Amino acid sequence: MSNHQIPALSEGSPVSGALESLRIKQLEEQSAALRNSVICAFNQLLDLKDLNTGVHSTRLAEWGMRVGQELGLEESELQNLEVAALLHDIGKVGIPDAILRKPGRLDADEYALMKKHSEYGWAVLRMLPGFERAALDILHHHESFDGKGYPAGLKSTEIPVVSRIVCVIDAFDAMVSSRPYRIGLPYAEAVRRLNEASGTQFDPVVVRTFLSFAQAEMSTVFAAAGTSVSSAL
Ligand SMILES: [Fe+2]
């Protein structure tokens, strides 16, 4: 061996441990950057289909995270929750525009096709390393607490907790948001409907947790939903 060659570090030495920690940190940073890039790329895809709700969906992800934190979810679950809250409807990219944009009620066949969006979203996201769990959470975001939802008819705690959270904030979002063909519901009516379906469609603990801070942040809620507080009240 020449004098210029660096001898191999012995395993377990302090220098080797420090290098290992540095390597792990770099990998974690790469993984976080990749995750953010994927979220951005899919958000742009939603934009292309005119399915993104911009600031609104970001606000919803924040509410979802807040519910998750108050329910004591672990950091890894919170990361999945963020992905699921932002991309839960990514599968709608695979639904024909005639169905997505139909202003009136969907007929049985159209509704059956529309319901496929949660499976489509799962099928795409599960291919990405690190997104497998979020893909499953997306698959189940239309399950109902009483087992009458889709696609699997799971009930209660059989439904992943992230899916139960996304289900509630997604429904609230849909209720209070204004669309080209209708004005969003007033806050009080949206709350009444959430409470009415608490325990049947929605997890009561998630509803209670969400409403515990939604009321206090009503103006932000409605600014995000495109409805003014005065018209909402
Ligand atoms: Fe959905």
Nearest CA among 40, 42, 29 for reference residue 138: 42
pLDDT at res. 184: 84
Cα(95) to centroid(ligand 1), Å = 12
pTM of the shown model: 0.84
Cα(169) to centroid(ligand 1), Å = 11
pLDDT at res. 44: 86
Rounded-to-integer distance, Cα 50 and Cα 226, Å: 16
Rounded-to-integer distance, Cα 222 and Cα 210, Å: 15
Taking the chain (233 residues) in runs of 10, the rounded mean pLDDT of each run is: 55 79 91 88 85 67 92 95 92 92 90 97 94 97 98 98 96 82 85 97 97 78 51 36
Cα(36) to centroid(ligand 1), Å = 21
pLDDT at res. 215: 78
Cα(5) to centroid(ligand 1), Å = 59
Cα(144) to centroid(ligand 1), Å = 12
Residue 115: both structure tokens together: 């319901």
pLDDT at res. 230: 38
Cα(175) to centroid(ligand 1), Å = 13
Cα(141) to centroid(ligand 1), Å = 7
Cα(212) to centroid(ligand 1), Å = 24
Cα(118) to centroid(ligand 1), Å = 6
3-state secondary structure of 215: coil
24 CB-contact burial (10 Å; exposed 0-12 / middle 13-18 / buried 19+): exposed
Cα(182) to centroid(ligand 1), Å = 19
pLDDT at res. 34: 87
pLDDT at res. 233: 33
Cα(71) to centroid(ligand 1), Å = 22
Cα(171) to centroid(ligand 1), Å = 9
Rounded-to-integer distance, Cα 92 and Cα 115, Å: 9
